[in-house]
Chain A
Amino acid sequence: MNVRVLLALIFLPIGAWAQGFAGLGTMAGKGFTEPQPGKMFRFPEDHGAHPDYRIEWWYLTANLTDAEGTPYGLQWTLFRTAMAPEESDGWASPQLWMGHAAVTTETKHFVTERLARGGTGQAGVIAAPFSAWIDDWALEGDWQTMQMTASAPDFAYDMTLTAQGPLVFHGDNGFSVKSNSGQASYYYSQPFFAIEGELHLPSGTVAVTGNAWLDREWSSQLLSGDQTGWDWFSLSFDSGDKLMGSRLQQTDGADFTAATWITPDGQTTAFPDGAFNATPLSANDADVPVVWRVTLPQREVDVTVAAINEDAWMTTSVPYWEGPVTVSGTHTGIGYLEMTGYD
């Protein structure tokens, strides 16, 4: 067994998303704080890290196009997982950090990963002035204008983000329920970022523009013991409306869904379990569904969501599928799809 395999085991709290996180339910406790309904979010503090919660992430996906209209997808993610609900300086810190970055083209998918522990300054998140970093990667700014970079041996990017709308809160004012047995997280997004910058790819540097969606979520016990993974959709319709929908798979074959409808000016409507439906239509060679039928009858949504590049598999310590999609049907548009629990 090498170090990475070892790490994958240790990162089980994070791995929990991607694989059946049977362990996550039982691993709660040990002094970690649990999300409660009715939280009053405070900014900029809540943009920063919450070390007393077991897991947390800063998760940005973007749909981009170059001058010729060729589509690209981009991902920048910083995960935090805690072995104990505290932070301390130096090597003894119980906070572990994992960065994932990816660029998806119609034919290629570039992925890279970084690991670090807290306490040394190698990785971390500061609320004000906001800065999230691991190694030379960073996401920094005031949430109106932000800079974002990542690098790998075979690709890198350098992006500027500009907020075009307000933050939106999922579930009950940011309290997002994940299962019938009450697992929940704090969950808000900034889905209105305009993004522009350069992608450095083996084929050359490409100037791109587009829209980005930044998710913030933290919790100590994300899923219930019988949940094995999830499918997550962030769709931006040409009408200006947006839809966040998630489908949590259960071992009994049933699923738990949640969705948020976001109007162009940032008004949200949360839908309870069952309102949102997602059904796989066809899978890629690795048996991962890459074409979906997605419906939200209350908003008369019945669309087909299809991957731009079927092979957007994240070959990271904890593997999953994450890539840009196109939307057709009652509504047209673009978006991002994330699927865990398929490896």
Chain B
Amino acid sequence: MTRAVLTALMSHWWRNPLQLFTLLAGLALATALWSGVQAVNAEARASYDAAAATLGEGQYDRFVRRDGLPMDEQVFVEMRRAGWLVSPVVQGRLDGIRIVGVEPLTAPVGLGPVSLGQDNDLAGFLGGDTPFFANADTAAGLSGVDVVISENVAPNTAIADIGAAQRLLDKTGVIDALIILPGQPIGQRAQAEVAPDLVRQVAQGGSDIGRLTDSFHLNLTAFGLLSFAVGIFIVHGAIGLAFEQRRPVVRTLRALGVPLSRLVWLMAVELLLFALLAGIIGVALGYLVAALLLPDVAATLRGLYGADVAGTLQLRPSWWLSGLAIAVGGTAVAASGALAQLSRMPLLAAAQPRALAMAAGRRAKVQGGLALLLLSASLVLMVTADGLVGGFALLGTLLIGAALGLPLILDRLLAVFSTRAKGPVLGWFWADTRQQLPGLSLALMALLLAMAANVGVSTMVSSFRLTFVGFLDQRLASELYIRTEDTAQSDALIAFAEERVDAILPIQSADVTLGGQPAEVFSARDHATYRDNWRFLQSTSDAWDQTFSGQAIVINEQLARRADIALDQVLTLQSRAFTVVGIYGDYGNPIGQAVIAEPVFEALYPEVEAQNFGLRMDPADVENFLSALEAATGIAPTQAVDQAGIKAISLEIFERTFTVTTALNILTLAVAGFAILMSLLTLATMRVPQLAPAWAMGLTRRQLGRIELARAVMLACLTALVALPLGLALAWALLAVVNVAAFGWRLPMYLFPADYLRLAVFALLAAALAAAWPALRLARTPPADLLKVFSNER
């Protein structure tokens, strides 16, 4: 019996290969979207988990000098002898490669990729001519030292014993930090007594690479979540289609004596096989997507945060598994409803439409109630949420609540339209659309989510970009920037430029700890450039005057938020007090920053010599100035960067960041379009009996086809209207909650009506494309099929 039933079930697919294709394609697409995003995420995460682990970043607290400068390595021994289990680290960059020196005997267990492989002995690692460990890519860029290739080492990083790293970095005798091991012994001496210069940095401090890159992952994770939701809708649609189309067959099989339980079981097995097949295809597709996106992701992360991510993708079993699990799990979730419905389906065709309608009404009420509940929760969260978890809960409740509420909203809208409709055709159109709504609602929810995500993410991205460009205008106000090689060149430059330019603005900075946070302090020369171009988020009325008087300091938003510093608070630098008079936006910079007057800076940090200079001049003179400068001082034009160049570089970095976003946007929309197509195909089988009377009463099949198309576009239109406010709410949540939690600054939100319009057009286009084929099929329905409706009882 099983074989006969299975043959009957499967024969359906061979006779209707297109349906098989849609089912498999739907499942595969959903899986691909999910696993693609996951793959990118996992790959990038793995890459800088390795990087972070190298230094114990994000894992271990560390001691650094209060002033941020390197400490004498003897401090390490003193701390050890005082009972502190600490391990020294020296680090720096050489030709762009991060060089890290560690002390393996005292380093915490499992500290990063110092796992060097069994064939390397410590005698080789310690002492004399010790090798550096790096992955193959990095090794190619390291010259002059012995390199051992080890793929466990983070990208663009070379690890060596501390002594060797000190020599290479020219930091003999000094170390940058002491990693504090967990499990300190009892009876140790107070650190303040042993090494009063040191301050303890708590592991999850805001300046970690890990923390920063998390923000990008949040972005991707949000997409992963969305794609998953959209994917589930698709799978649901695909399975609904498969079940709807085989409903009569199922009834016949039961009438012929196939027990219900066996039928349900066999169909479940059949679905499982399809899910696995589609899952494998989907994961492979996802891999392709990920492989295409990854170089951009890597570039983005490197550009934005300086985190090194290998630009290659490894096949990780974890996302093979997660991809298959999503396909199977998604199918199970989507199919459980259909299977339950199947098992409740009365054997006799004489279903009571009224009772079914009543059940559907009840379900709609439950769904509406749930939507209301979720949306209320999101309202509460909008006011209260302040961390990443809260931010994501807000996103989740908002999205799901809105999606669940959509059918109800559309139903109400259509009811209003139908009461106001003039003429019989229009009246029928609205009423018929309303009747179709339950069948289309899943696809429309998918469309809603896709559009809202698009609106939300593009608003965030464009706001980010707009703010950033404005910020570049402020911060790169000088027409020309020149980097000198030494003091002599600096002097020569100043002497040469003094008479020729409007102003020389030396740029000097020192690494410091401000309010317990690592930060850079910059000097500013008293000049209109600052007063004219810098925009404060908060400031006293005469912020620059106060700053240039030497009594005050202005700080960036990150520092203000992380160290909880408000205006008029007093900060100490080298035991000198400064009043905070301004807080400025500082986008794209991971750490805290502050600006003080040049004379004060020079007094506090006499060892810092300016080697970067901003020159104010007529932009038209830049070229002549550069050639004259070279002739007079030997400073090559290659040492100069003009403002336009810096801006272009910065903008390019941003463009790349958002390539990924755009690609995912398009994919999501395409997938939503696919969902619509499948829903319409599902409905098409049920449509003929509904349309036949309209046809019989004088509407041509062409007209019917057009009406069907118009209906899809109209529904997409209405959905777009709901998606816009939802997307804006989403953007607000991303900018005001998630971004603050992840990056440490809040972005002003801008609106981009033209973008939204374009998006809406795309969505309508997707809907129209999806509806075109079913409409065409309808227009070509043989009259005989329509006639059958009247000869056949259904």
Residue contact B115 to A6, C-beta cutoff 8 Å? yes
Whether B104 and A83, one on each chain, are in contact in the complex, defined by CB atoms closer than 8 angstroms, is: no
- Smallest beta-carbon distance B175→chain A, Å: 10
Q: A91-B162, A136-B83 are in contact. Are A153 and B105 (CB under 8 A)?
A: no
Contact B188 A151 (CB under 8 A): yes
Stretch in B74-82, B326-334, B397-405, B752-760 with 4+ CB within 8 Å of A: B74-82
Min CB distance A112 to B, Å, is 8
Q: Which of B109, B126, B185 contacts A91 (CB 8 A)?
A: B126
Q: Which residue of A lies closest to B126 (CB)?
A: A117
Distance between Cα atoms of A245 and B196 in the complex (Å): 51
Roughly how many angstroms separate A64 CA and B77 CA in the complex, as a whole number?
32
The answer, among A7, A90, A153, A155, for a CB contact under 8 Å with B104, is A7
Cβ < 8 Å to A, chain B residues 163-190: 163, 166, 183-188
- Residue in contact with A6 in the complex, picked from B83, B122, B161, B183, CB distance below 8 Å: B122
A3 on the B face (CB < 8 A): yes
Q: How far is the CA of A4 from the CA of B163 in the complex (A)?
A: 19
At the interface, yes or no: B285 with Cβ under 8 Å from chain A? no
What is the CA–CA distance of A152 and B163 in the complex, to the nearest angstrom? 28
Q: Produce 1/0 per residue, A4-28, CB < 8 A to B.
A: 1011011000000000000000000
Nearest CB on B from A115, distance (A): 4
Interface of B, secondary structure class, is loop
Q: How far is the CA of A200 from the CA of B188 in the complex (A)?
A: 13
A120 on the B face (CB < 8 A): yes
What chain B residues lie within 8 Å of A154 (beta carbons)? 186
Report Cα–Cα, A116/B105, bound state, in Å: 6
Bound together, the chains give a CA A93 to CA B166 distance in angstroms of 15
CB B168 to nearest CB in A, in angstroms, measures 13
Across the interface, do A10 and B122 meet the contact criterion of CB distance under 8 Å? Answer: yes
Count residues on chain A whose CB falls below 8 Å from chain B CBs.
33
For the complex formed, measure the closest distance between the CB of B117 and the CB atoms of chain A, giving whole angstroms: 7
Within 8 Å CB of B109, what residues of A? 2-4
B80 and A3 within 8 A (CB):
no
Query: Which residues of chain B have C-beta atoms less than 8 A from A136's C-beta?
Result: 80-83, 185, 187-188
Query: Within 8 Å CB of A4, what residues of B?
Result: 109
Q: Which residue of B lies closest to A152 (CB)?
A: B185
Is A40 in the interface zone, CB < 8 Å from B?
no
**In the complex, A225→B111 CA distance in Å?**
35
CA–CA, A93 to B103, complex, Å? 13
Contact (Cβ within 8 A) A121 B185: no
Chain B residue nearest in CB terms to A133: B81
Expressed in whole angstroms, the Cα–Cα distance for A115 and B109 within the complex equals 12
Interface set, chain A 142-176, CB cutoff 8 A to B? 151-156
B128: which of A6, A92, A155, A200 is its contact (CB, 8 Å)?
A92
Give residues 54-110 of B contacting A (CB, 8 Å).
Answer: 73-74, 76-77, 80-83, 85, 103-107, 109-110
Is A1 at the interface (CB under 8 A from chain B)? yes
Task: Judge whether A333 is part of the interface by a CB distance below 8 angstroms.
Answer: no
Complex: A1 Cα to B82 Cα, angstroms: 30
Interchain nearest-CB distance for A310 vs B (Å): 26
Given contacts A90-B163, A91-B166, contact A96 B185 (CB under 8 A): no
Task: Report the bound CA distance from A207 to B104 in whole Å.
Answer: 37
Name the A residues within 8 Å of B85 (CB-CB): 135
Indicate whether A122 reaches chain B with its CB closer than 8 angstroms.
yes
Chain A: minimal CB distance from B145 (Å): 15
Verify B185–A9 contact, CB threshold 8 A. no
Would you call A210 an interface residue if the criterion is a C-beta within 8 Å of the partner chain's C-beta atoms? no
Q: A-facing mask of B112-147, CB < 8 A → 1, else 0?
A: 001111101111001110000000000000000000
> A residues touching B (Cβ–Cβ < 8 Å)?
1-4, 6-7, 9-10, 83-84, 90-94, 96, 112, 115-117, 120-122, 133, 135-136, 151-156, 200
**10 smallest beta-carbon distances between A and B, as pairs:** A91-B163, A10-B122, A136-B83, A151-B185, A115-B105, A153-B183, A83-B123, A135-B80, A121-B77, A1-B115
